Amino acid sequence: MDDKVLREYVSAYKKQTAANPEEYKLAWSERRDRVTWYRTWDKARLLAITSEELEAYLSKLWAMLTWGNKRYYVDLIIEKNSIETVRSNLADLIYGDAPIANRWEQFRDQVSHIGPAMASELLAHHFPESFPVWNRKAKEALERLGEQDLPAYNYQITGAFYDRLIELTAKVAQALTDEGFRDVDKLVVDYFFWDLLQGFPITAGPTATTVPNQVPSPREQIFVHNEIRDKIAEIGTWLGFKASTEQTITTGTRIDVVWEASIGNMGRVLYAFEVQASGSIDSLQLNLLRSLSNPAVQAVVAVSDERQLDKIRGEAGTLPDLSKKIRYWDFREVLETHASLSTAFDSINRLKLVPDSF
């Protein structure tokens, strides 16, 4: 982190808060209200949480703003994990005795569909004096402050990285305190990060790209495969499809992601996606070709890096039945699309155009 850049941004933030005192008073009051509410959830209450209570517990998170239908996503969390698994691991993440890096690793290993943004937000709302929020905004803000080598993928957000994030945000908190801010905790740092990205009147600190250009190493590819798969499913859901992962679409053929749409009483249409991070291209093509035996499948999509897509494109050209319906999607474009849609739906859902109970 560049100390000079940090000081310049903190100084600009000080002037901005002084010019808009009521706005920042309301923001920090809202933060205190959140902390008060989350602290009503003690360990015993988390260990007995019901599915309806889990929806209430998670729905207040900023990371849930993307999901207009929060009940859908909470049901998905329960389906993928079981309510018992969620209960015990939430209680241990928040209130466990082990070092936070160990608790973080265990939670990430045991619970799917509650990612780093949601997990870190829960920690921050229970213990804002100790734990920071990690999300795309935090990453972009730290990059603007000159921090390098930040995670490009969720699997890289390990317990060791969360420890590093605690140290980085402690440095930012100290800079805010030195500038005269009072009672600075990690949620105050999060508000600073958010405002930093709105554009202070200084130009220091270039922002790095949030989409990696490098091809993952073979050791990393299984993690990247699962992350890209899950992001494609989320994109489909945001677009109004019923999306599922690891779906059997024809006998003996399991597809990474399927988007499904119903057309009145006429039936349904399907779109099949196969993510290629490693392994045999022949296997990918065979899976996609077999999926086309299902008449509801309108198109199949191969997802990989540019080099492998060129190979898939060349070999698919020799298979007429496949070449007519196959499409190609670079995994970097998947990440860009996911990030863009996430931002758009965050903005739209903040308007609360549809009641939560709808």
Handedness of CA 18, 23, 25, 28 (dihedral sign): negative
Same domain, 336 and 240: yes
282-338 per-position pLDDT tens digit: 888 888 888 888 889 999 999 988 888 988 888 888 888 888 889 999 988 998 898
In-domain check, residue 316: yes
The reported pTM is: 0.77
Same domain, 153 and 267: no
How far apart CA 297 and CA 325 sit, in angstroms, is: 9
Same domain, 140 and 249: no
Total of domains in the chain:
2
Residue with tokens 């992350």, as numbered in its chain = 227
Q: What is the band of 31 on the pLDDT scale with cuts at 50, 70, 90?
A: confident
Q: What is the arrangement of strands in the sheet containing 253-262, beginning at the earlier edge strand?
A: 242-250, 253-262, 268-275, 297-304, 326-330
Q: Is the pLDDT of residue 109 over 60?
A: yes
Same domain, 298 and 188: no
**Which carries the bigger pLDDT value, residue 39 or residue 27?**
39
How far apart CA 314 and CA 279 sit, in angstroms, is: 17
The range of the structural domain enclosing residue 201 comes to: 3-210
In-domain check, residue 355: no
Find out whether 288 and 280 touch, Cβ atoms under 8 Å.
no
Find out whether 151 and 136 touch, Cβ atoms under 8 Å.
no
Q: What is the band of 358 on the pLDDT scale with cuts at 50, 70, 90?
A: very low
Find out whether 170 and 29 touch, Cβ atoms under 8 Å.
no
Same domain, 74 and 169: yes
158-184 per-position pLDDT tens digit: 999 999 999 999 999 999 999 999 889
How far apart CA 274 and CA 354 sit, in angstroms, is: 34
Pull the structure tokens for residue 259. 């988007």
Lowest mean pLDDT among 96-100, 208-212, 233-237, 261-265: 208-212
Pull the structure tokens for residue 187. 């949620």
**In the chain, which ranges are continuous DSSP H helix?**
3-19, 21-38, 43-47, 51-59, 70-81, 83-95, 100-110, 116-126, 136-144, 159-178, 186-196, 221-238, 281-291, 306-316, 320-323, 331-350
Residue with tokens 């490009």, as numbered in its chain = 152
**Taking Cα atoms as reference points, which of 254, 248, 328, 325 lies closest to residue 287?**
254
Taking CA atoms, 358 is separated from 52, 80, 287, 351, in Å, by: 15, 24, 39, 15
Mean pLDDT over all residues of the chain?
87
- Collapsing DSSP to helix, strand or coil, 255 comes out as strand
Taking CA atoms, 185 is separated from 3, 32, 76, 86, 190, in Å, by: 19, 11, 33, 27, 9
Going by DSSP bridges, is the β-strand pair 253-262/297-304 parallel, antiparallel, or unpaired? unpaired
Backbone angles phi, psi at 249, to 5 degrees: -110, -30
Q: What is the CATH number of the domain that holds 325?
A: 3.40.91.70
DSSP 143-195: HHTT--S--SSGGG--HHHHHHHHHHHHHHHHHHHHTT--S--HHHHHHHHHH
- Collapsing DSSP to helix, strand or coil, 19 comes out as helix
Same domain, 133 and 108: yes
In-domain check, residue 353: no
Same domain, 13 and 104: yes
- Collapsing DSSP to helix, strand or coil, 328 comes out as strand
In this predicted structure, what is the pLDDT of residue 202? 41
Same domain, 168 and 33: yes
How far apart CA 4 and CA 10 sit, in angstroms, is: 10
Same domain, 129 and 157: yes
Same domain, 242 and 179: no
